[in-house]
Chain A
């Protein structure tokens, strides 16, 4: 295999690793960002460091890229390259749409498409695709969701939510569980890229078979996933943190603890579940457990994106495979098309930019209705912590996520309040249940 082919595949693998990072940073941090347990910048910084640490710690390379989904003899550098191309483009498309989807599924879909295009269906083990891809995708949100429903119900009944200590404790719990998810993500997904690069180096005769990844491979793969994570994937984070249900710290902890448990248990008891599917299921479950409004239309769109992941990435992989098999010109051609399409997607995304400054805003939200998507809490100067109330808009605005002083006459001596969302209009606060003081 020519050196240039090896270099192209390695670069493509690192780009995929980067998209994997920003696609999945929401899995670890969306709920913590939504509840304010982490500031957006701090969240991605912590997740990036832990992803790098996770990737660096896990250097045992998988023996195959395909995990038994296709005939390994057919997994040529062309197929790997085409599969990565499909995965990268699908990751960018779903990111643009703000939808979480499994990067591993995109990768497998691309690989399957690439093999089918060149060798036909005989190279694909359909039974394994059903049992290792489709079934876990159905099971993951249900199991994590069920755990989350129960955990959320218990958390709300056990602890009185009107104490600041309770909220602080749950936020701390969120920080720790979110960090554990980020670390676990680094160990599993960072290692996938190392595996791809190492197998390509071995196939090209640049590394002896059976040896572990080179030091530079570990560093490059870890750095790519960490940089991707740090860049945030804010579009997906907004959907997961704010688009499905309104998340409170108690609920966020119950959700994140359930997701963390599902990820660790599944990867150690032999039935691997996708982090994306687990976390999304847990968020939905926490909404159901708290009995709050769940945005099923967003959840439905996510479900459709999951179903499309395998065939869509497969289709791109198939086309890429046919072109890449035309030799080095084909490789470079596919690479050029990816770069152009990625550029277009990023350019379009920047027209409606979502970043750390507006990740917690909800586009088009009705701020005046009873379903105002923000909460106002009284932290009064005496000690008792008043219940959460929703506010009605009457005209004044705040531009920071800070403690904000409401004219005391309006709130009958209960200032200051904490407003959990920047740039909203806060006006009159409704009297909490139990009547005003």
Chain B
């Protein structure tokens, strides 16, 4: 039996790491979005919250595009 333990370990670590990072950024993006909305409904300017939300969603979007690149065989 030939088990590729290093590949197994790599897959486990990268999966947990990437999933955690993606969800963390997305969740903070959602929190900033809600804060921006809250500010607007109270008549205050959304300020940095709106910008940060866009940056965070943009980062997750970029990671998602990389996922799309991995899925589509044409690219590699």
Closest to B68 in A: A180
* Interface residue stretch chosen among A32-40, A230-238, A261-269, A411-419: A261-269
Report B7 CB to chain A, min CB distance, Å. Answer: 4
| B52 interface residue (CB < 8 Å to A) | no
Report B50 CB to chain A, min CB distance, Å. Answer: 11
Give the residues in chain A near B28, CB-CB below 8 Å: 158-159
Report A266 CB to chain B, min CB distance, Å. Answer: 5
Give Cα A183 to B68, complex, Å.
9
Give the residues in chain B near A144, CB-CB below 8 Å: 15
A271 touches B7 (CB 8 A): yes
Give Cα A143 to B15, complex, Å.
7
Closest to A282 in B: B19
Interface 1/0 per residue, B15-51 and A, CB below 8 Å: 1101110111011111101100110010000000000
A257-B22 contact in complex given A143-B16, A158-B28, C-beta closer than 8 Å:
yes
Give Cα A233 to B12, complex, Å.
30
| A131 interface residue (CB < 8 Å to B) | yes
Give Cα A128 to B1, complex, Å.
6
Give Cα A34 to B8, complex, Å.
31
Partner of B26, one of A143, A169, A270: A169
Report B67 CB to chain A, min CB distance, Å. Answer: 5
Report A257 CB to chain B, min CB distance, Å. Answer: 5
A163 touches B34 (CB 8 A): yes
| B11 interface residue (CB < 8 Å to A) | yes
Give Cα A262 to B12, complex, Å.
8
Interface 1/0 per residue, A152-177 and B, CB below 8 Å: 10110011100101100110010011
A151 touches B20 (CB 8 A): yes
A257 touches B34 (CB 8 A): no
B26 touches A265 (CB 8 A): no
Partner of B20, one of A57, A130, A147, A166: A147
Partner of B15, one of A131, A152, A261: A261
Give Cα A187 to B57, complex, Å.
27
Give the residues in chain B near A166, CB-CB below 8 Å: 30-31, 33-34
Partner of A266, one of B11, B16, B38, B41: B11
B34 touches A147 (CB 8 A): no
B41 touches A184 (CB 8 A): no
| B62 interface residue (CB < 8 Å to A) | no
A258-B34 contact in complex given A135-B3, A271-B8, C-beta closer than 8 Å:
no
B73 touches A146 (CB 8 A): no
A176 touches B18 (CB 8 A): no
| A150 interface residue (CB < 8 Å to B) | yes
B67 touches A270 (CB 8 A): no
A148 touches B19 (CB 8 A): yes
Partner of B71, one of A54, A60, A266: A54
Interface 1/0 per residue, A213-241 and B, CB below 8 Å: 00000000000000000000000000000
A169-B30 contact in complex given A143-B15, A144-B15, A154-B20, C-beta closer than 8 Å:
yes
| A260 interface residue (CB < 8 Å to B) | yes
Closest to B37 in A: A165
B20 touches A184 (CB 8 A): no
Closest to B41 in A: A383
| A254 interface residue (CB < 8 Å to B) | yes
Closest to B66 in A: A264
B74 touches A180 (CB 8 A): no
Closest to B34 in A: A163
Give the residues in chain A near B31, CB-CB below 8 Å: 158-160, 166
Give Cα A139 to B8, complex, Å.
8
| A94 interface residue (CB < 8 Å to B) | no
Report B46 CB to chain A, min CB distance, Å. Answer: 12
Give the residues in chain B near A378, CB-CB below 8 Å: none
Partner of A163, one of B4, B19, B38: B38
Give Cα A266 to B10, complex, Å.
9
Give Cα A58 to B73, complex, Å.
6
A159 touches B30 (CB 8 A): yes
Give the residues in chain B near A165, CB-CB below 8 Å: 30, 33-34, 37
Give the residues in chain A near B27, CB-CB below 8 Å: 154-155, 158-159, 250
Report A278 CB to chain B, min CB distance, Å. Answer: 9
Partner of B23, one of A130, A254, A262, A383: A254
In the complex, 9 of the A-B residue pairs with CB atoms within 8 angstroms, ordered by the A residue number, are A147-B20, A154-B20, A154-B24, A163-B34, A180-B64, A261-B15, A267-B70, A270-B7, A271-B8
B residues apposed to A, CB below 8 Å: 1-4, 7-8, 10-12, 14-16, 18-20, 22-24, 26-31, 33-34, 37-38, 41, 57, 60, 64, 67-68, 70-74
